[in-house]
Structure 1
Amino acid sequence: MANKKMEVFVNLTKKDTVQALEQKILPGSLVFDSLNPFPGYYHELPTDADSIYLYMILDSQYPLEEILRATQNIEKQYDWNFDAGKAYITIGTTSLDAIRLRHLPTLDLVEKIQEAYVKQGIKFLMNKKLKGKLEARTKIVKFLNLEELEPGIYLNSDDTTFAYIVISKYLDAEEFIKVSMDVKYNWDGHEFDAASASFYKEGTLYEVVRIRSDKMDANYLKAIQKLYEAKINK
């Protein structure tokens, strides 16, 4: 039987280290480069476009449908290959709204993409300076195409270095860090990066862990899932 495929609405929360770009952006705008988007993973993964993760800071909060509509219009108008999601960034006491970009073939496209969003009515925060390497907490919301390998085990159909494993309860930020550290200390398999997430499927909200690794199969993911459950319920 073929694995079940579906589109889901995903919320992803993680820590990130970011730094503002100085060039190749709309003059006066604030665009952060993610310096270490997968801190728990140290093996080489595909580079180039896959290594670019950017946050284009918005001038205000826009409804998700406005971001989606603008993105779709840009994709229809231009032959650009990129992935966009809505993001919320907290740096200290500063909260910022953003569009998260990835899969850019080159940084040379950033200013052009910003200009295209402006034409769609999406404006960017101007003349705000945040310098140096900054520790940020980010929340990303987007739609994903998933393939169910087994009950509670899902692979990202568009990028198979990402998977999602269902866990039995919600973990707040502090609990997730503690449990994930516990899992890592007791894991002797191929390394991976983990982030807290949730998604809606058939009217139900599922608590999940986003896994990134270059080793993705059902047995590998089930072993990680089993260890998470053991540490959650100990």
Structure 2
Amino acid sequence: MEKKFIERYGSLKKIEPLKSITDDAVLPNTLAFECPSPFPGYYGSKPTEEIPLYVYFILDGYFHLEDLLLIKEDIKKVVDFDFHATICALEFFDETFNAIRVRHVEDYAKLRKLQQLFVEHGIHFHKKSRKYKYIEDAFIRIKKFFQLEEIEPGLFFDLVEHDHGYIKIDQHLEMNDFLEIARQVDYNLDIIDYDAALASYFEDYKVHDMIRIYTEKISKELLQNIKVEYEKKIKKLLS
């Protein structure tokens, strides 16, 4: 089969815990969170490295993704470290916050420098609040570009994040339904640790839904097995 590559724009949706960053790793009087367990299904019983895997700088209002991408490219010209940044929305405590999600920063010492450069480019951050120390279940919606290789119809490998795979599904799932189905699939598929999240991309003026799978042991066979279980549970949900 000839390899098929696609690049699409869409989003990733997940539920994760967040912990506020309270030390001098970020600018004073700004609200920022880190995710202590970014892949709860995978890292649930495993210690993570002491690096800032996923950091969320809370914004003081809405900010366009296009503007952030331009700023990101300017900043990359003057720093000696790599990073990735995109726009996202966080929902918790019956509130919605716009944020910049940052990842691939190799240590906490560089976070503050990066945040300062965002400020110098006109970005304003939400003021720090003691109200938001720890959030057990934050709903996170991330704006995302997908670069994928279709390994068979409906199954994809991520060409950027090599431990990520995607399963296309025909039915749109709300988060509550997805979480219940994911729990059932995990129970039936006790084969390997992995984490699942909802994803979607836009094509032909339509939303195409997927399930993102994360594991360091990603494989075509694993995606096939997970796809079979999800299709069973989705069919049962609709019956």
TM-score by length of 1: 0.92
Post-superposition Cα deviations, 1:79-109, rounded to whole Å, max 9, x if no partner, equal 3211112111111112111011111111111
Post-superposition Cα deviations, 1:137-182, rounded to whole Å, max 9, x if no partner, equal 1111121322221111111111211111101100001111111111
Which secondary structure state, in structure 2, belongs to the residue aligned with residue 8 of structure 1? Answer: strand
Aligned to 1:225: 227
Which secondary structure state, in structure 2, belongs to the residue aligned with residue 129 of structure 1? Answer: coil
Aligned to 1:3: 3
Q: What is the alpha-carbon distance in structure 1 between the residues aligned to residue 190 and residue 70 of structure 2? A: 44
Aligned to 2:22: 22
What is the CA distance between 1:6 and its match in structure 2?
A: 2.5
CA contact (8 A) 1:30 1:129 kept: no
Q: Which residue identity lines up with residue 53 of structure 2 in the other structure?
A: I
**Residues 16 and 149 from structure 1, CA distance in 2 versus in 1: closer, same or farther, beyond 3 angstroms?**
same
Aligned to 1:112: 113
Q: What is the alpha-carbon distance in structure 2 between the residues aligned to residue 97 and residue 211 of structure 1? A: 25
What is the CA distance between 1:27 and its match in structure 2?
A: 0.8
What is the CA distance between 1:47 and its match in structure 2?
A: 4.3
1:36-55 to 2 correspondence within 5 Å? Answer: 36-42=37-43, 47=49, 52-55=53-56
Which secondary structure state, in structure 1, belongs to the residue aligned with residue 69 of structure 2? Answer: helix
What is the CA distance between 1:76 and its match in structure 2?
A: 2.6
Q: Which residue identity lines up with residue 226 of structure 2 in the other structure?
A: I
1:24-103 to 2 correspondence within 5 Å? Answer: 24-42=25-43, 47=49, 52-103=53-104
Aligned to 1:175: 177
In structure 2, list runs of 5 or more residues that go unmatched: none
**Residues 47 and 4 from structure 1, CA distance in 2 versus in 1: closer, same or farther, beyond 3 angstroms?**
farther
Q: What is the aligned-residue identity percentage?
A: 32
**Residues 111 and 199 from structure 1, CA distance in 2 versus in 1: closer, same or farther, beyond 3 angstroms?**
same
Alignment counterpart, residue 138 of structure 1, candidates 137, 140, 148: 140
Which secondary structure state, in structure 1, belongs to the residue aligned with residue 42 of structure 2? Answer: coil
Q: What is the alpha-carbon distance in structure 2 between the residues aligned to residue 225 and residue 77 of structure 1? A: 44
CA contact (8 A) 1:30 1:125 kept: yes
CA contact (8 A) 2:38 2:53 kept: no
What is the CA distance between 1:71 and its match in structure 2?
A: 1.3
CA contact (8 A) 2:196 2:211 kept: yes
- Number of matched pairs: 233
CA contact (8 A) 1:45 1:214 kept: no
1:148-159 to 2 correspondence within 5 Å? Answer: 148-159=150-161
Post-superposition Cα deviations, 1:28-85, rounded to whole Å, max 9, x if no partner, equal 1111010111111137698465x61110001111111112111122123323211112
CA contact (8 A) 1:89 1:137 kept: yes
Q: What is the alpha-carbon distance in structure 1 between the residues aligned to residue 210 and residue 29 of structure 2? A: 38
In structure 1, list runs of 5 or more residues that go unmatched: none
TM-score by length of 2: 0.90
